Chain A
Amino acid sequence: MNTATGFIKALESGTKHLVLKRFTFRYPQEKLKFVGDGYQFDPKKGVGIAGTRGRHILFHDKCTGCQLCAIACEGIAEAITMVKVDEQWKQNKKSIMPQIDYGKCVFCGLCVDACPFYALYMTNDYELSSFTKSHLIYTPSQLAVKPKYDGEVEIKIGSRGAYHGR
């Protein structure tokens, strides 16, 4: 009889789930809500600020071309190269800024930790697919653009199980 009760319990558990809410959400129509504006780092305190590690954002008015991000990346992904930019900034004598190859980047965020000038942060934008590998290389001017991302669903726990809801 132990066998029978085992089967009946399994059947009960399985059929119970027919009325639970489905857990998946429709991705392109709905997107996940993230905590902040992306991972940031406060060099004074030496700790980061929690957030999603998506693609980077580069503040041209703060970047000094010190290459610390490229040095940090050297042993990890070698995704950052310093390139010459046409702009003239007082703090950036050499006029070089990071250019990031997202075909190589592993989104560890250690370059953000390395930047002492609040110039390189990460954003919520993680949708970076493209048809060619060359499109994955983001130049400093592309990195300066603040991405638009509006996710609205997050995990909710209700009487009919956990689900993704607004």
Chain B
Amino acid sequence: MSSLQEKIDEAKKLSLQITKETEDDRLMTLSVGPQHPGSGHFRFTIKVDGDYIVFVDPDPGYVHRGHEKMCEYRNHFQNIPHLERPVIHDSCNITYAYSLAVEDLVGITVPRRGQFIRALASELSRLSYTLYWLAIYGIFLGHSTMFMWPAGDRELLIDLLERLSGARVTNAFNIPGGVRNDIPYNFKEKCLAQVNYFETRLKEYEDIFYNNPLLRQRTEGVGILTKEDAIKLGVTGSVLRASGVPFDVRKVEPYDVYDEIEFKVQYMKTCDSFARAYVPVLDMRESCHIIRQLLDKMPDSGDVREKLQFNIKSSPGETYKRVESGRGALGYHVVSDGTPRPYRVKASVGSFRNLLALPFLLTGSKLGDMPAIYWSLNYWPVEADR
């Protein structure tokens, strides 16, 4: 009798187990990346229930190169070429922050003309990064024209950077002490013409992409990151500004010449994917405005570089300097022990900080919203891995 009861209990347990397993079978695990066309050098595992994402686990690190460890074995100048590798499209900004930190440790100020030139390089670099990002946002949403136009127009800015620094993307231009070289002959007119032309192109982007009703349907009201959540998660850059916090390092903590430049911090209050995709375009307009002012206010002659020894020794201490990069605040925490090499370098990058919002936003959204939300976070996998 008892054995029969046991058997019944066992069967009940088993059936319970089976139903539980079948319930779990509702979920399908999809691996997005690293060979997925919609991921970049990055992987996240998602579980979908029908069309809804119920679980997200980001797994970065596919392009980790021990950037911070490498810095400890090289001197400040030798660090520059490999520091810019994580975001070669935005290389002038990522070296800008490091240069500011080293200058703070060494205790020098850059000549005024040098400050203008490196601000100019960083703005051009930011524009070119944002265009690259925008191109990928376009193709993620299936808009092939929006992939080609920014990718083509980026050539205008790459050409300027190439004239200025000699390399198209890996500029190694902003170094501790200023910039590598003065602007070439006839650069101002060329820069003004190309930037002005580029600004007219932004209207076309709005016509074909941002005001397209299909795009509006896909991005408006999708992936809402409220102001409170954005602050709590500590996101930065365009993601933060799209959530209604007017925070821009160039404005709140002006470095170099940015306190003489007039510009507005563009932000939106709708907090959705559309706002996150549109704020960079508003930023690009401001950047064009800034470039014109920089060219206008730049002193006609003067030094561009404070002469430093190759093996410059910095005083022991530590510093934390940040700039506004294409992806938000980019800070370098440099600890020095008095030797030519930094003792510890920590890069606090925008991508890594924005990554925290990815599981938060994706959970509960639809599978079709995945690219619209993921790439609107202004996330650059290579930079996040460092």
Indicate yes or no for A touching B, C-beta below 8 A.
yes
Q: Which residues of A contact B (CB under 8 A)?
A: 2-3, 6-7, 9-10, 12-14, 16-17, 23-24, 34-36, 38-39, 46-53, 72, 74-77, 106-110, 113-114, 122, 154-155, 157, 162
CA of A3 to CA of B220, assembled, Å: 14
Picked from B77, B153, B166, B184, the residue with its CB within 8 Å of the CB of A110 is: B77
Beta-carbon nearest neighbor of B307 in chain A: A46
4 further contact pairs, Cβ within 8 A, besides A2-B213, A122-B166: A47-B305, A50-B181, A76-B81, A109-B180
Task: Decide if B74 is an interface residue (CB 8 Å cutoff).
Answer: yes
Tell me if B208 and A10 are in contact (CB < 8 A): yes
Tell me if A108 and B81 are in contact (CB < 8 A): yes
Task: Decide if B159 is an interface residue (CB 8 Å cutoff).
Answer: yes
Residues of A within 8 A of B207 (CB): 9-10, 12-13
In the A-B complex, the 4 residue pairs with the closest CB atoms:
A48-B181, A75-B78, A75-B74, A13-B207
Task: Decide if B212 is an interface residue (CB 8 Å cutoff).
Answer: yes
Residues of B within 8 A of A3 (CB): 213
Residues of A within 8 A of B155 (CB): 23, 155
The listed residue with most B CB atoms (<10 A of its CB), out of A12, A36, A114, A162, is: A162
Tell me if B156 and A35 are in contact (CB < 8 A): no
Beta-carbon nearest neighbor of A158 in chain B: B197
Tell me if B166 and A39 are in contact (CB < 8 A): yes
Tell me if A108 and B212 are in contact (CB < 8 A): no
Task: Decide if B49 is an interface residue (CB 8 Å cutoff).
Answer: no
Task: Decide if B145 is an interface residue (CB 8 Å cutoff).
Answer: yes
Tell me if B73 and A75 are in contact (CB < 8 A): yes
Residues of A within 8 A of B194 (CB): 155, 157, 162
Residues of B within 8 A of A47 (CB): 180-182, 303-305
Within 8 A of A (CB), among B282-328: 303-305, 307, 310
Given contact pairs A14-B208, A47-B303, A157 touches B197 in the complex (Cβ within 8 A): yes
CA of A113 to CA of B187, assembled, Å: 22
Tell me if A35 and B163 are in contact (CB < 8 A): yes
Residues of A within 8 A of B165 (CB): 50, 53
Interface residues on B, range: 35 or more
Tell me if B213 and A108 are in contact (CB < 8 A): no
Picked from B81, B162, B197, B310, the residue with its CB within 8 Å of the CB of A52 is: B162
CA of A102 to CA of B170, assembled, Å: 16
Tell me if A52 and B193 are in contact (CB < 8 A): no
CA of A109 to CA of B75, assembled, Å: 16
Tell me if A39 and B77 are in contact (CB < 8 A): no
The listed residue with most A CB atoms (<10 A of its CB), out of B166, B167, B213, B303, is: B166
Given contact pairs A3-B213, A13-B208, A122-B166, A35 touches B184 in the complex (Cβ within 8 A): yes
Residues of A within 8 A of B145 (CB): 14
CA of A24 to CA of B155, assembled, Å: 10
CA of A68 to CA of B218, assembled, Å: 57
Tell me if A39 and B82 are in contact (CB < 8 A): no
Beta-carbon nearest neighbor of A74 in chain B: B78
CA of A155 to CA of B207, assembled, Å: 25
**0 or 1 for each of B175-192: is its CB under 8 Å from A? (1 = yes):** 000001111110100000
Tell me if A6 and B82 are in contact (CB < 8 A): no
Smallest Cβ distance from B93 to chain A, in angstroms?
A: 17
Residues of A within 8 A of B152 (CB): 23-24
Tell me if B212 and A110 are in contact (CB < 8 A): no
Residues of A within 8 A of B102 (CB): none
CA of A16 to CA of B177, assembled, Å: 47
CA of A10 to CA of B180, assembled, Å: 43
Given contact pairs A47-B181, A50-B163, A53-B167, A76 touches B82 in the complex (Cβ within 8 A): yes
Q: 13 A-B pairs, CB-CB below 8 angstroms? A: A6-B212, A17-B204, A24-B152, A46-B305, A47-B304, A48-B180, A53-B167, A76-B78, A106-B81, A110-B77, A110-B78, A110-B80, A157-B193
Residues of A within 8 A of B45 (CB): none
Task: Decide if B362 is an interface residue (CB 8 Å cutoff).
Answer: no
Beta-carbon nearest neighbor of A20 in chain B: B204
Task: Decide if B211 is an interface residue (CB 8 Å cutoff).
Answer: yes
Smallest Cβ distance from A106 to chain B, in angstroms?
A: 5
Within 8 A of A (CB), among B125-164: 145, 152-153, 155-156, 159, 162-164
CA of A24 to CA of B213, assembled, Å: 30
Tell me if A7 and B166 are in contact (CB < 8 A): no
CA of A72 to CA of B159, assembled, Å: 28
CA of A156 to CA of B5, assembled, Å: 89
CA of A24 to CA of B149, assembled, Å: 11
CA of A47 to CA of B165, assembled, Å: 12
Residues of B within 8 A of A72 (CB): 77-78, 310
Residues of A within 8 A of B212 (CB): 6-7, 10
Task: Decide if B346 is an interface residue (CB 8 Å cutoff).
Answer: no
Task: Decide if B216 is an interface residue (CB 8 Å cutoff).
Answer: yes
Smallest Cβ distance from A122 to chain B, in angstroms?
A: 7
CA of A110 to CA of B181, assembled, Å: 12
Residues of B within 8 A of A9 (CB): 207, 211
CA of A76 to CA of B85, assembled, Å: 12
